[in-house]
Structure 1
Amino acid sequence: MKNALRHTLLAVGLLLAGSAWAQMSPAGTWHTIDEQTNQPRTEVVISDNGGVLTGRITRLLRPGADQAARCTACTDDRKDQPLIGLEIIRGARQAEGRTVWESGRILDPEDGRTYTLRMTPIEAGRKLQVRGSIGPFGRTQTWVRVQ
């Protein structure tokens, strides 16, 4: 009886630990936040494909947003592609021994520019700091995980 209880508690502990680790990965669904209104702007799904992260816009959340909008400012293979379904994160990998994902690129579909990317889960994975930069210059946004 004691062994069964120990095994059950161990299994529950392992499941909880795995769940906590999953939350510390950027993989999942996120709301980007408009810096002026502090309201959700888009929904982005980040996927892990063998250790390489990609992210796509899945919904435009701003009231009145044109759901058929296209990336007219893009200059690469995403030129004139619909914003919904648009891959905005490419090639991010976890830094060895750290809960930081970098070495990828992020696209700003409003200006068509791509930036060096760094993503860091914070607040036990409930939020994600997303930094896009060119050299020493850049900006950081905080995205909120969708439960």
Structure 2
Amino acid sequence: MRCKSIRAGLTVLLLACFPTAYGASPDGRWQTIDDETGQPKSIITLTQASDGSLSGRVTEILQSDKGPNPRCEKCEGERHNQPIVGMTVLWDLRPEGDNAWNAGTILDPSKGKTYRAKAKLAEDGQTLEVSGCIVFICRSQTWLREP
């Protein structure tokens, strides 16, 4: 009986010290992979608010045909001609089940278009599947966690 309680206590302690990736936070830096070219495109820093919602802003441009400091030329409103680095491009993603978020918005600065967004963190905690849709036309990307 005593061995079982010691074993149970050790299991709880190990789980507390080494949390599984599933249930991991999406907070941090993510490398976006262009869904059209398959090449790394930018680094997005994701932040999870206390209510579980996600937002993301561009912190680095890795590849652009507009140079190292591109502007959002095709964006409308307050984002028009603003630098893409520092721009919030993902917002209001709401938690939906385990490691999934939905009903947010994502901006593609190169096209100046916004899409309804959803995201799902893989069990390994190292990849994030992000998709955006306009009506029935959807685009998906796999983002890789930065070390």
Q: TM-score, normalised by structure 2?
A: 0.83
List aligned pairs for 1:81-100, cutoff 5 A.
Answer: 81-95=82-96, 97-100=97-100
In structure 2, do the counterparts of structure 1 residues 77 and 15 end up closer, same or farther at CA, with 3 Å as the change threshold?
farther
Quote the sequence identity (%): 32
Q: Is the 8 A contact 2:116 2:132 kept in 1?
A: yes
Paired residue for 2:125? 125
Higher helix proportion = 1
CA separation of 1:119 and 1:42: change in aligned 2, threshold 3 A = same
Deviates more, 1:57-66 or 1:76-85: 57-66
Structure 1 residue 126: Cα displacement: 1.1
Show CA shifts across 1:56-79 (max 9, x none). 111111277622211111113212
Which runs of at least 4 in structure 1 moved beyond 4 Å after TM superposition? 2-9
Q: Which residue of 2 aligns with 1:72?
A: 73
Is residue 36 of structure 2 the alignment partner of residue 46 of structure 1?
A: no
Structure 2 residues without counterparts, runs of 5 or longer:
none
How many residues are aligned here? 143
1:12 is matched by which residue type in structure 2? Answer: L
Residues 15 and 65 from structure 1, CA distance in 2 versus in 1: closer, same or farther, beyond 3 angstroms?
Answer: farther
Q: Match for residue 135 of structure 1?
A: 135
- Where 1:17 maps in the other structure, the secondary structure is coil
**TM norm structure 1:** 0.83
Give the C-alpha shift of residue 11 in structure 1. Answer: 2.5
Where in structure 1 are there 5+ consecutive unaligned residues?
A: none
Q: CA RMSD in A?
A: 2.4
2:29 corresponds to? 29
| Alignment correspondent of 1:15 | 17
Secondary structure of the 1:89 match is: strand
Q: Deviations over 1:33-56 (max 9, x none)?
A: 134543311000110122221101
Matches of 2:9 and 2:34 in 1, distance apart? 47
